[in-house]
């Protein structure tokens, strides 16, 4: 297996993670989404200061604030801190993958040197990376839509310690502020955004692959 083939496969594998993590970050901090869902599910009726609490949570998760309101108990605060740390890690991973993708692209470009060969190479990476993203995002959509409780539970088991993410809606604010159905809608939105991004990437890659070659390199 040649070096270019290895580079191509690595970039194809990296691309879906880039798109999915980016979709997660954009959708997860979309103020319009929460405003819409808080109204749809009547969250402000169950939590009178829902808007203010949500802004405090978002500021905390973004790192703009180091404290949470005392409306949350110690277990809720610890869980939100765990979420904040997970978001920080995902952001670091995103930056690392972007840097790695660019580095691999530069190495590939220097290896190929011929302009048309470079565009064709990039086109293949985008098309096959987009197809892989499309498959993963579609699988996520189906999982969330058909078995959200199982998917949501598996996600928490994977990233959080056992016993730290179960809350009593009668005593704790967090599950009333962010009900499970809101996270289902968020999961669907992430998968739809990722599918849309994958489609754009595939179209762009197809253009690079099949655009007319310049006369200079014929």
Domain edges within the chain: 3-204
Amino acid 217: pLDDT: 45
pLDDT at 216 over 90: no
* Distance separating alpha carbons of residues 41 and 189, to the nearest angstrom: 17
Given this model, what pLDDT does residue 104 score?
94
Q: In Å, how far are 119, 125, 202 from 108, measured between CA atoms?
A: 11, 11, 20
Q: C-alpha distances in angstroms, 144 versus 137, 157, 191?
A: 10, 16, 9
Tens digits of per-residue pLDDT, 104-143?
999 998 888 776 788 899 999 999 999 999 999 999 999 9
The pLDDT assigned to 10 comes to: 95
pTM: 0.86
Instruction: Convert the pLDDT of each residue in 11-31 to its tens digit.
Output: 999 999 999 999 999 999 999
Give the model confidence (pLDDT) of 163-198 as tens digits. Answer: 888 899 989 999 999 999 999 999 999 999 999 999
Distances from the Cα of 24 to the Cαs of 3, 28, 180, 194, in angstroms? 32, 6, 17, 9
Mean per-residue pLDDT over the chain, rounded: 91
pLDDT tens-digit map of 66-80: 999 999 999 999 999
pLDDT at residue 218, as a whole number: 43
Which residues, at least 6 apart from 149, have a Cβ–Cβ distance to it below 8 Å? 180
Q: Provide the H-helix boundaries in 29-147.
A: 31-40, 43-46, 50-62, 74-112, 115-146
3-state DSSP assignment of residue 42: coil
What is the C-alpha separation between 51 and 44, in angstroms, rounded?
7
The DSSP output letter for 63 is T
């Amino acid at each position: 297996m040649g070096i270019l083939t290895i580079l191509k496969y690595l970039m194809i594998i990296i691309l879906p993670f880039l798109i999915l993590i980016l979709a997660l970050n954009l959708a997860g901090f979309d103020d319009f989404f929460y405003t819409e869902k808080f109204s749809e599910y009547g969250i402000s009726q169950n939590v009178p200061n829902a808007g203010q609490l949500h802004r405090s949570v978002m500021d905390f998760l973004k790192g703009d604030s180091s404290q949470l309101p005392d409306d949350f108990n110690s277990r809720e605060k610890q869980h939100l801190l765990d979420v904040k740390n997970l978001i920080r890690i995902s952001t670091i991973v995103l930056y690392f993958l972007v840097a790695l993708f660019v580095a691999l692209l530069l190495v590939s470009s220097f290896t190929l040197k011929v302009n048309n060969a470079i565009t064709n190479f990039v086109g293949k990476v985008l098309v096959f990376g987009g197809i892989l993203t499309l498959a993963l995002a579609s699988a996520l959509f189906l999982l969330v839509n058909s078995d959200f409780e199982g998917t949501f539970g598996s996600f928490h088991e994977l990233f959080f310690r056992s016993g730290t993410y179960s809350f009593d809606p009668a005593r704790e604010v967090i599950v009333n502020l962010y009900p499970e159905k809101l996270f289902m809608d968020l999961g669907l939105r992430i998968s739809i955004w990722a599918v849309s991004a994958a489609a754009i990437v595939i179209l762009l890659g197809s253009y690079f692959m099949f655009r007319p070659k310049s006369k200079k390199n014929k």
